[in-house]
Every structure is written in C-alpha cells, then in structure tokens.
C-alpha cells in the first residue's frame, strides 16, 4: 500500500515544515509516502465558495482514481489512535493499493470533495491551521504504524 497527502501550497512556517519532514522520514520506514503540493491560484473577484470549488477540483484531479480518498474535515468522523491503526490494517487486508489524504485550504473542502471522499476524518472540533493539520496527520500516521508494530512510541 502507498500513502499520499494532497495539499494546496507549501507549508508556510519553517518549524512546521521541519516537523513534517521528520515524520515523513519516520513513516517511510514503514510504508511509501508522498506529499503532493498542488498549486491553487487565488483570483480576485472569486467568492469563497468559488475558491473552495476550484481547490476541490484540483485536489480531486490529482488523486489517483482508484485511491481510497480520506478528506480531513472538522465535521468528519473522529477516531482514537488505535482505531486509526486498525483503519490502516483493514486497508492493507482489503488489498488497497493507495490511500490519498486530502487537506483543504483555509476555507475547508468543497462539497464535491466531501461527496467523493470514502472517509471524512476529523482530529477535533477545534479549528487548526491547514498547515498544522499536515503535521498532526503525519504524526498520527506514524503513531498508527508504531501501534501496528507493537512499538513503544504510543505509550
């Protein structure tokens, strides 16, 4: 199985980018992982809804058609770290070739992304920057694989 994160634009803060790269390095010990940075151009005169729709179109076009799509969204399903580890185990047992995590921009995902997603996942009811969510997601993926491996990191 392969994992990919599809994200609009670069991470703005260097301290977050440093953490992201550390977890990418750790995760690749367990499973192939790519972070795909997508260019989403803001245009003057477009509404927030139109911006979300354009970003959603770009995210969905970048995802492999056969990939299981997980959209990170505040209204999505919450799960424990152990539950997230079980999610990866189920995907592997089901023979999934790829899981694509879609992280939206500051205004969230378009309805098209939410409708296409096989799973909408929420880390909290609180609001986080989309750059922080990248780091949180990678840490939880790493944690899930250490749980699956029976390693000490989780405790």
Task: Please give the full DSSP string across 96-138, using - where no structure is assigned.
Answer: --EEEEEE-BTTB--HHHHHH-SEEE-S-SS---HHHHHHHHH
Above 80 in pLDDT, residue 12? yes
Above 80 in pLDDT, residue 76? yes
Above 70 in pLDDT, residue 155? no
> Is the entire prediction scored with pTM above 0.85?
yes
Tally the domains of the chain. 1
Nearest-angstrom CA–CA distance, 138 and 26: 9
Q: Which residue's structure tokens are 């994200």?
A: 7
* % of the chain beyond a pLDDT of 90: 80
Both ends of the chain: CA-CA distance in Å? 26
- Six token digits for residue 62: 């970048």
Determine the pLDDT at residue 85.
Answer: 97
Determine the pLDDT at residue 88.
Answer: 98
Query: Which of 75, 132, 127, 133 lies closest to 101, judged by CA?
Result: 133
- Per residue in 35-54, pLDDT (tens digit) is 999 998 888 888 889 999 99
Nearest-angstrom CA–CA distance, 149 and 145: 6
Determine the pLDDT at residue 41.
Answer: 82
3-state secondary structure of 144: helix
CA dihedral sign, ordered 69, 34, 27, 90: positive
Mean pLDDT value across the chain: 94
- Per residue in 80-114, pLDDT (tens digit) is 999 999 999 999 999 999 999 999 988 889 999 99
Domain range for residue 50?
2-154
What's the CATH code of the domain at 104?
3.40.1280.10
Determine the pLDDT at residue 19.
Answer: 98
Q: Which residues pair with 35 in a beta bridge?
A: 5
Above 90 in pLDDT, residue 138? yes
């Amino acid at each position: 199985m392969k994992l990919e994160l599809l994200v609009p634009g670069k991470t703005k803060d260097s301290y977050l980018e440093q953490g992201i790269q550390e977890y990418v390095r750790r995760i690749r010990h367990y499973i192939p992982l790519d972070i795909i940075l997508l260019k989403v151009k803001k245009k003057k005169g477009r509404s927030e809804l139109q911006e979300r729709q354009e970003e959603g179109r770009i995210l969905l076009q970048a995802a492999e058609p056969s990939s299981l799509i997980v959209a990170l969204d505040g209204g999505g399903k919450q799960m424990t770290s152990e539950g997230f580890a079980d999610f990866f185990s189920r995907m592997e047992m089901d023979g999934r070739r790829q899981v694509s995590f879609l992280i939206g921009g500051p205004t969230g995902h378009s309805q098209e992304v939410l409708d296409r997603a096989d799973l909408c996942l929420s880390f909290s009811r609180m609001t986080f920057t989309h750059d922080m969510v990248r780091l949180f997601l990678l840490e939880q993926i790493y944690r899930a694989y250490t749980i699956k491996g029976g390693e000490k990191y989780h405790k």
